[in-house]
Amino acid sequence: MATDVSALQEELREDPYPLYRVLRESGRAHWSELPRGWLIPHHSDVVAVLRDPRLGVDRRVRSDSRCPHDRASILDKQHDQTLFFMDPPAHTRLRERVRHAFTPRRVEALRPRIQAIAEELLEAAASRGRLELIADFAYPLPVRVIAELLGIPADDLPLLRRWSDDLAVLLVEPFKDEDADARCEASLTEMRTYFEAVFSERRSAPRDDLVSELVGAEPADALDDDELFGLVSLVLVAGHETTTNLIGNSVLALLRNPEARRFLAVDPSRTADAVDELLRFESPVQVAQRIALEDCEVAGQRVRRGDRLYPLLGSANRDPEAFPEPDRLDFRRGEVRHVAFGSGRHFCLGAALARLEGAVALETLMRRLPSFKADFEKPVWRQRLVLRGLETLPLRF
């Protein structure tokens, strides 16, 4: 196993599973200097941590949590208004305001649009005779869906990509390059100006979209602009890269596992269930984060108030105690109790939407381009550790 940090990061990006195995086999909680916190690798402990009310997400519990310079206040504000980093009661109130938009029934109503976008993207690829799966399909599909849901015009999608990329690093990645905070601050400022204009437009002329619903709330439920921006920007980021990664990681897994691919080709009606096994097998979010709100014992380890904990979702999903033969992609497992969407009060709000997009994407790809093959020697992973996904995945057919 690599010892210097950049080699270790590279190794983790390529294949984190050997390290996860070593961690699981050598204890329940491991202190790591790299993210400065406790790594929790087992499925049962990860579920317990995610559901433990003594562990929260509000980093204000830590004295060193604020950004070190004054101009960073916009970054701090963004953290403080983001569901990911809010504890009850603020979390409960804000989540309740947006929950209804993502119920399985509301999401199912989006199916015809998701299907139409998937067909359109693959039609264009078929006529070109090539498909770079990420740029041509896995990225634009969820982005167009989330933009339509929010009511953002298609012309503005390139802006959303830049903002969302910068914000994703701020919100979840433990390792950032030196310029990340400054880039993120610039993106947040532009994004905020953009969305304030959208909020005021929708207040005066509501449409049939999520932003209009949120700004049009009764006065008792009304959200201020900080709360609105926190919600909308999170939905945008959370609904962006994660689902791209689900589609990209799934197609790579099918290329590497011909038997599983044949199973779906023979019976496409199993695609929706297969998505959960694919989420387990190559989880788009590998790591969650918690902070101890009090001194307590977690996974057999004494932790102190303010200590960070990192439940390793990707490791929990390969834990043999929870999944027999965990390194096998097996669509016959029955119910897959993975933690790819987390667990407990921060359970992914977009899980139903992500599952539907993943199922529609795979089913449409396998139907329209059944002979797709890898057009690369080695997959190129993105420079991320928490969000596991591919930079490119060129296919021929």
- Residues forming the site for ligand HEM (CB under 6 A): 50, 83-84, 95, 146, 234-235, 238-239, 242-243, 246, 284-285, 288, 340-342, 346, 348-350, 353-354
Question: Residue 157 or 186: which CB sits closer to ligand HEM?
Answer: 157
Rounded to a whole number of angstroms, the minimum distance from the CB of residue 159 to ligand HEM is: 18
Contact 57, 311 (CB under 8 A): no
Cβ closest to ligand HEM, residue 326 vs residue 342 = 342
CB of 337 to ligand HEM, least distance (A): 14
Q: DSSP per residue over 110-136, as a string? A: THHHHHHHHHHHHHHHHHHT-EEHIII
Least distance (Å) between residue 235 CB and ligand HEM: 5
Closest residue to ligand HEM, based on beta-carbon distance: 350
**Which residues face 286 on adjacent strands?**
none
Smallest separation, CB 285 to ligand HEM (Å): 4
Question: Among residues 274 and 348, whose Cβ is nearest to ligand HEM?
Answer: 348
CB-wise, 41 or 284, nearer to ligand HEM?
284
Q: What is the DSSP string of 242-308?
A: HHHHHHHHHHHHHHH-HHHHHHHHH-GGGHHHHHHHHHHHT-SB-B--EEESSSEEETTEEE-TT-E
- In whole angstroms, the minimum distance from the beta carbon of 246 to ligand HEM comes to 4
Could you tell me the smallest distance in angstroms from the CB atom of residue 6 to ligand HEM?
A: 26
CA nearest to 87, candidates 391, 275, 294: 294
Q: Is the peptide bond between 89 and the residue preceding it cis, with omega within 30 degrees of 0?
A: yes
- Pick between residue 148 and residue 375 the one whose CB is nearest to ligand HEM: 148
Nearer to ligand HEM, 174 or 182 (CB): 174
Give the whole-angstrom CA distance, residue 29 versus residue 24.
Answer: 9
Name 305's Cβ contacts closer than 8 Å, sequence gap at least 6: 61, 292, 293, 294, 295
Nearer to ligand HEM among residue 122 and residue 278 (C-beta): 278
Q: How far is the CB of 320 from ligand HEM (least distance, A)?
A: 21
d(CA 95, CA 215): 15
For residue 309, the SS3 value is strand
